[in-house]
Amino acid sequence: MSLNPLLAPITSLLDYAAIRPEHIETAIPELIEQARAAVEQVANSTEPPSWETIVDPLEDASERLWRAWSVAGHLNGVLNTAEIRSAYNACLPAITAYSTWVGLHKGLYAQYRRLRESATFHALSPARQRIVELALRDFRLSGVELEGEARQRYTEISDEAAQVSQKFSENALDAVDQWQLFIDDERRLEGIPADVLNAAQRSAQEAGLSGWKLTLKMPCYLPVMQHARNRELREQMYRGYATIASDQGDTRFDNSANIERLLALRAEEAALLGFASFADMRLETRMADSPQQVLEFLRQLAAKARPHGERDLAALREFARDQLGMEDLQPWDVAFVSERLRESRYAYSEEEVRQYFTEPKVLQGLFDVVGRLFNVSLHKIDTPTWHESVRVYDVRNDQGASLGTLYMDLYARQGKQSGAWVDSERSRRRTPGGLQTPVVYLTCNFSQPHEDRPSLLTHDDVITLFHESGHALHALLSQVDDPAASPFASVEWDAIELPSQFMENFCWEWSVIQSLSAHVDTGEPLPRPLYDKMLAARNFQSGMQMLRQIEFALFDMLIHHRDTGLSIAAVLDTLEDVRREVAVLLPPSWHRFPHNFSHLFAGGYGAGYYSYKWAEVLSADAYAAFEEAAVTAEDGTRDTLDPVTGRRFLEEILAVGGIRSAAESFQAFRGREPTMDALLRHSGMTEEVTAG
């Protein structure tokens, strides 16, 4: 029995508490060596081609490697100590080299081609046939047909791109972790919620100082921007956040050169593979057909959203001038003025709402929703984790059988990447030895509970939790028996947000809100009058918000739809051009948003950020099926938690993973192709609303 937890059998849950940085550095090389040997054995086999002689042996060898590497990457994101970072970075070149080597392996490619051309192929299930077809496509996109210098250069690009992306990520994390603002004059903190100030005071005490320590982590930054009455303080915080990891902030962490290098490497990689641009290459594996189609889609949405965005900004400026005496609305005023306008127009504040969403009650409500929709339950289990605040749940069907394991890491802390995301440690797989169930991570950055006070969530936090739960359910409720067709492995990137954005809709339903809310002091659920105000405000500034997402997506597509890289000046010029085209409020010239845009430069969203809007069309249309099936009670309340429609959504979307195209899955669920109608209606952008 190995003493290295990362070498435990794939079927067992890992002992996260026992994992040390040195375990990463010893396990990864050993597992790479085993996987390489398996690849060579399959590639040199002279047996008749079959699933059992080609695909299964590779899966056996590679799944332990990718499980260990997923764990290393996860710990690097949620527990980023100097030792873990060092171990991760030490192994990154070897992992990148292995992955590139497999993609370029002509012998392995030849075996997959043999299988595709054999009579055995036609006896495979449709899901397995699709896996073979996708593998052949991915081989071609991995440069397997390259020769000589081009082949060598492709390997070098893959290695360098992985390291530059990792450095981008580290700079963004370090820039946030290192930034701090100590305040010793309590008058400067007027308006900031008490629990935020208490946390800031504790942070200062931990640093051995009196007063308050403010940071750029969301549980601190956002409430300060929304509620601090001191305009100078808001500007200071805004400048800190807007210049993360750039030449305008702490230049030790400047990501300018990393952005330039990544864009150059991506353009060169695309050219080597015969594509006009990195965007063209990426869209080979997407629902969208071409960059032109994506740009047209985004500009079509922008045209519909712009009048609403202009109206939102005009209302904000008018309120700032007439009610707050601000003649010149600045970007660092927007969150503060928006919150005052919301309070004035709808007579409530986010802080008031937050008192009703205690994290334990929200989790219980989320589990109830999942149970009603998909007939599954979550049961807390006791197993070692990487941090004391992490909780683990066994997900079970109505017969009590385990479907998978969910790790939830919900609180912000030092050394943890900001944002919210879902990833998986292992996928569902059926083997002769039995069924291996998925293991999934759900990560957020909510405020921490303190003593007997639970973490309080904003309604946006609740929406974030439901969003990430959609991703988690996609993996946990999959019925796909082959990992290569699992949701995260083969669902098109521009459809991967469908389940997550779909789940957000339930956060606006009265019946669901009642199950999610209990006042932190009284235990009372959210009152109906307050809910009605929230609902009336649901599309508050929806025009500005949609334009902001379109701005990000257009910027992403335009910097990647080129045959060469870009200087950082040209990157910023492109962003400026995009803003002139779609934005209604321009930030200052020193704003450096791209330098912290980890989705593009340290995640998988390069030339893919449009996916959020693309999938939002799908998710809104899918949710419309639940609206159509909703039962309306005598008091006019509707219940969209329809188990019959939920079962169809499970069977046609969640359970099938990537065994067919996302377009086919959507049509199977909805009976037709998607339309924009539901998205525009949900966003308050129908003609009727406009006319009103």
Average pLDDT along the chain, 692 residues, taken 10 residues at a time: 87 97 98 98 96 96 96 97 97 96 97 97 96 97 96 97 97 96 97 96 96 96 97 98 98 98 98 98 96 97 94 97 96 97 93 96 98 98 98 97 98 94 97 95 96 95 98 98 96 95 97 96 96 94 96 98 98 98 95 96 94 96 97 84 97 97 97 93 68 26
Q: Under DSSP, is residue 212 helix (H, G, I), strand (E, B) or coil?
A: strand
Q: Which of 153, 261, 271, 257 is nearest to 563 (CA)?
A: 271
Q: Which of 278, 272, 267, 261 is nearest to 151 (CA)?
A: 272
Q: What's the CATH code, domain 5-145?
A: 1.20.1050.40
Q: What is the pTM of this model?
A: 0.91
Sign of the alpha-carbon dihedral angle for 652, 654, 657, 658: positive
From 63, 269, 468, 497, the catalytic residue: 468
Q: Are the beta carbons of 416 and 80 closer than 8 angstroms?
A: yes
SS3 of 64-100: HHHHHHHHHHHHHHHCCCHHHHHHHHHHHHHHHHHHH
The 8-class DSSP code of residue 347 comes to: S
In whole angstroms, give the CA distance from residue 236 to residue 234: 5
* pLDDT of amino acid 634: 79
Start-to-end C-alpha separation, the chain: 71
How far, in Å, are 370, 377, 382, 607 from residue 361 at the CA level? 14, 16, 20, 38
- Residue pointed to by tokens 């080609």: 54
Tell me whether strands 376-381 and 391-397 are parallel, antiparallel or unpaired. Answer: antiparallel
Tell me whether strands 391-397 and 429-431 are parallel, antiparallel or unpaired. Answer: unpaired
* pLDDT of amino acid 691: 28
In whole angstroms, give the CA distance from residue 232 to residue 642: 50
In whole angstroms, give the CA distance from residue 306 to residue 238: 25
The 8-class DSSP code of residue 243 comes to: T
* pLDDT of amino acid 225: 98
In whole angstroms, give the CA distance from residue 225 to residue 310: 22
Q: Which of 451, 435, 378 is nearest to 408 (CA)?
A: 378
Q: Long-range contacts made by residues 528-532, C-beta under 8 angstroms, separation at least 24? A: 530/348, 530/352, 530/353, 530/356
Side-chain-facing half-sphere of 517: CA atoms under 13 Å: 24
Residue 7: strand pairing partners: none
Q: Are the beta carbons of 633 and 639 closer than 8 angstroms?
A: yes
Fold of 359-542+611-691: Neurolysin; domain 3 (1.10.1370)
In whole angstroms, give the CA distance from residue 343 to residue 137: 53
* pLDDT of amino acid 627: 96
Which residues, 6+ apart, have CB-to-CB distance to 339 below 8 Å?
226, 227, 349, 350
Q: Which of 117, 110, 106, 121 is nearest to 51 (CA)?
A: 121
**What does the domain layout of the chain look like in residue ranges?**
5-145, 179-243, 272-348+543-598, 359-542+611-691
* pLDDT of amino acid 687: 53
Q: Are the beta carbons of 458 and 432 closer than 8 angstroms?
A: no
Take residue 582 and report the two structure tokens written for it.
């779609």
DSSP string, 331-344: GGGHHHHHHHHHHH
Sign of the alpha-carbon dihedral angle for 557, 149, 166, 78: positive
Q: Under DSSP, is residue 310 helix (H, G, I), strand (E, B) or coil?
A: helix
In whole angstroms, give the CA distance from residue 583 to residue 565: 25
> Residue 271 is inside which H or E element, if any?
helix 256-272
| Helices then strands, each counted (H, E), the chain | 29, 11
- Residue pointed to by tokens 């083997």: 431
- Where b means 16+ CB within 10 Å and e means fewer, 594-610 reads bbbbbbbbbbebbbbbb
Residue 406: strand pairing partners: 393, 440
In whole angstroms, give the CA distance from residue 622 to residue 672: 11
In whole angstroms, give the CA distance from residue 148 to residue 249: 43
- Residue pointed to by tokens 């405000």: 537
Q: Are the beta carbons of 474 and 374 closer than 8 angstroms?
A: no
The 8-class DSSP code of residue 484 comes to: G
Helix, strand, coil tally for the chain in percent (to 5): 60, 10, 30
Residue 377: strand pairing partners: 396
In whole angstroms, give the CA distance from residue 129 to residue 223: 51
In whole angstroms, give the CA distance from residue 561 to residue 692: 39
Q: Are the beta carbons of 479 and 318 closer than 8 angstroms?
A: no
Q: Which of 215, 674, 551, 184 is nearest to 413 (CA)?
A: 215
- H helices of 375-509, in order, are 459-476, 487-490, 498-504
In whole angstroms, give the CA distance from residue 27 to residue 4: 7
425 is catalytic: no
